[in-house]
Amino acid sequence: MRKEQKLLLILGFNVFLMCVEVAGGIISGSLALLSDAGHMFADSVALMLSYVAVIMAKRPSTSRKTFGWHRTEIIVALVNGIALLLIAGYIFYEAVMRFFHPQEIKTGVLLVVAVIGLLGNVLGMLLLRSESHSNLNIRSAFFHIMGDAMSSVGVVIGGVIIAYTGWNIVDSVIGVLIGGIVLRGAFNLIVESGNILLEAAPEGIDINDIKSEVERIPGVKEFHGIHVWAITSGSNALSAHAVTGNITTRESQQLLCRIREVLDAKFNIRHATIETECDACQNASCEFSNTNGDEHGV
């Protein structure tokens, strides 16, 4: 099953679970279930945005959008991160309100609906688990579903404790724990997507490591003017200058092939634009091109 099909399936099931929780919250009088339904509504919107982003990312590149629509995934991931931040704030607010104004609930209905929601969210997490490691947009959807799952766990645990003890304050404690998990996911998404939009070096890639690794290749005297960024999650790009000896064009192309092989194998960089320079070149225009705009590169 393709990732867009998985997202569409999870979106449909999420909307169904949301409706079940609204009905269950009204019947049981549970503010916890109604709040969780609101949480699932926000997540349903986020899942819909993620689905749209996956479809947009498949659109071919054009003369104006030469990298295609891949950045749509990052923009949506950033929006999802901000949405998760707002959701976390709402959860904290509701937890505090329930601390001062505990609600009497019908725990039987609460537990049945919460368990159904938990099972549905676990299924969604299993469906997206593999793609969440390599795709930031899918990871944002995964965090939304995980937040729903943890919320359902909290509601179940709270319902059991309230049923046996009558301690309605447990709702507030569980709410704070859920809010903390959601807040952490929101922070990670905002930072990672923000770094990609700012074209920072991808996580785990050090420019100095690239420089030293490439300069080990026979024929490369210096590797400088290095800029590394991510087009989208898992798709890294590089531009740089490679200084060589006085070699032929054919030898230069062979050397570039070896450099690209190293970049791909060791740094997962598959889109590399490299300009070769002869170390004997003293042309003023070459000196200008090597420094202009590269002051932040290595």
Domain regions of the chain by residue span: 3-197, 207-291
Bridge partners (DSSP) listed for residue 73: none
Task: Report pLDDT for 3.
Answer: 67
pLDDT tens-place string over residues 238-256: 999 999 888 888 888 999 9
Q: Is the dihedral of CA 186, 15, 48, 3 positive or negative?
A: positive
Query: Which of the two residues, 38 and 288, has the higher pLDDT score?
Result: 38
**What are the backbone dihedrals phi and psi of residue 26, each rounded to the nearest 5 degrees, phi first?**
-70, -45
pLDDT band at 297 (very low <50, low <70, confident <90, very high): low
Q: Is the pLDDT of residue 280 over 70?
A: no
Domain spanning 207-291, CATH class:
alpha beta
As a whole-number percent, the residues of the chain with pLDDT over 90 amount to 12
pLDDT band at 227 (very low <50, low <70, confident <90, very high): very high
Q: How far is CA 226 from CA 182, 207, 241, 286, 295, in A?
A: 37, 7, 7, 16, 10
| Distance of alpha carbon 270 from alpha carbon 114, whole angstroms | 45
pLDDT band at 133 (very low <50, low <70, confident <90, very high): low
| Mean of pLDDT over the chain | 78
Q: Are 3-197 and 207-291 the same fold in CATH? A: no
Task: Report pLDDT for 1.
Answer: 62
Q: Tokens for 99, please give them.
A: 């601390």
Q: Is 192 left (phi over 0), alpha (psi -120 to 50) or beta?
A: alpha
> Which CATH number applies to 3-197?
1.20.1510.10
pLDDT tens-place string over residues 70-109: 777 778 778 878 887 887 788 788 778 777 777 676 778 8
Determine how β-strand 269-278 pairs with β-strand 235-244.
parallel
91-105, 124-138, 213-227: segment of lowest average pLDDT: 124-138
Task: Report pLDDT for 26.
Answer: 81
Task: Give the global pTM.
Answer: 0.68
Bridge partners (DSSP) listed for residue 277: 243
Helix (H) or strand (E) holding 73: helix 71-100
